[in-house]
């Protein structure tokens, strides 16, 4: 039995999220079925972090155990063949020790949220970025974002259905930059609450539009009440960038 670590890229639009669900196709189901078609083995795939419906990945990490022998290159290419036409690609397949666990041994996760900030509609990025037409001040967003860096009770940025045991998380990085018409929000932490990144981005958008100040953001954080913060940004612009081990 060999444990395999996969690094995946996927377009989240056709999926109900990472996790298997009864209401539609998931990335997990799609990958597990491709592995079974390839090997004849029924496996359970474990991921570094579950993504919601419509959320994308640039470097999602997962693992599973397989009896049939493969090389990493052969496994990668064969799985990509069996994944077609689903918008999921195996970027890398690595043999790892049996004590590796994509979720339990993960030391950190990172995301980027893409906002296309222009008046013109999206022709190429529909479903892949959040289209915000009103002008955004990325520098003000970045300055305000530093209020959230560090260890805090993030109840104000936590989804009502979040199953985490505690709302206290340590946000290692939250930066905002503008690249042309695009505003990018980068977030890194050991782990995140359900919808935490999207709720932070939705609130920072208010700052960028001049509706909120950094002090407003601080008051929302200290309120420890979801209704005190801004709206939840759509999933379109959110990408799981990578996991650190």
11, 52, 65, 153: which is the annotated catalytic residue?
Answer: 52
Euclidean distance between CA atoms 64 and 2, whole angstroms: 8
User: Does residue 11 carry a catalytic annotation?
Assistant: no
**CA angle at 14 for the pair 193 and 17, rounded to the nearest 5°:** 20
In sequence order, the 6+-apart residues with CB closer than 8 A to the CB of 167 are 153, 154, 155, 158, 193, 224
- State the binding site for substrate: 111
Instruction: Count how many Cα atoms sit within 13 Å of the Cα of residue 84 in the half-sphere of its side chain.
Output: 5
Q: Do residues 138 and 116 lie in contact, with contact meaning Cβ atoms separated by under 8 Å?
A: no
- State the binding site: 111
Euclidean distance between CA atoms 60 and 195, whole angstroms: 17
> Quick count: other Cβ atoms within 10 Å of Cβ 110?
20
Entry field: residues in the chain: 245
- Catalytic positions, written as ranges: 52
């Amino acid at each position: 039995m060999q444990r395999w670590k996969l690094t995946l890229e996927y377009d989240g639009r056709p999926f109900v999220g990472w996790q298997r669900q009864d209401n539609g196709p998931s990335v997990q189901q799609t990958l597990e079925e491709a592995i079974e078609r390839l090997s004849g083995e029924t496996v359970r795939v474990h991921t570094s972090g579950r993504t919601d419906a419509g959320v994308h990945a640039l470097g999602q990490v997962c693992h599973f155990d397989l009896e049939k022998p493969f090389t990493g290159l052969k496994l990668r290419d064969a799985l990509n063949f069996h994944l077609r036409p689903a918008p999921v690609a195996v970027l890398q397949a690595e043999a790892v020790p049996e004590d590796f666990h994509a979720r339990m041994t993960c030391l950190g996760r990172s995301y980027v949220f893409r906002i296309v900030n222009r008046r013109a509609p999206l022709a190429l990025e529909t479903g892949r970025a959040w289209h915000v037409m009103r002008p955004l001040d990325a520098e003000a967003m970045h300055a305000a974002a530093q209020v959230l860096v560090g260890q805090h009770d993030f109840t104000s940025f936590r989804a009502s259905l979040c199953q985490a045991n505690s709302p206290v998380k340590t946000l290692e990085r939250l930066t905002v930059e503008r690249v042309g018409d695009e505003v990018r929000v980068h977030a890194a932490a050991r782990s995140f609450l359900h919808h935490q990144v999207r709720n932070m981005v939705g609130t920072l958008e208010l700052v960028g539009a001049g509706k909120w100040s950094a002090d407003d953001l601080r008051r929302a954080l200290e309120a420890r009440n979801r209704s005190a913060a801004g709206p939840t940004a759509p999933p379109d612009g959110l990408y799981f960038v990578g996991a650190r081990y």
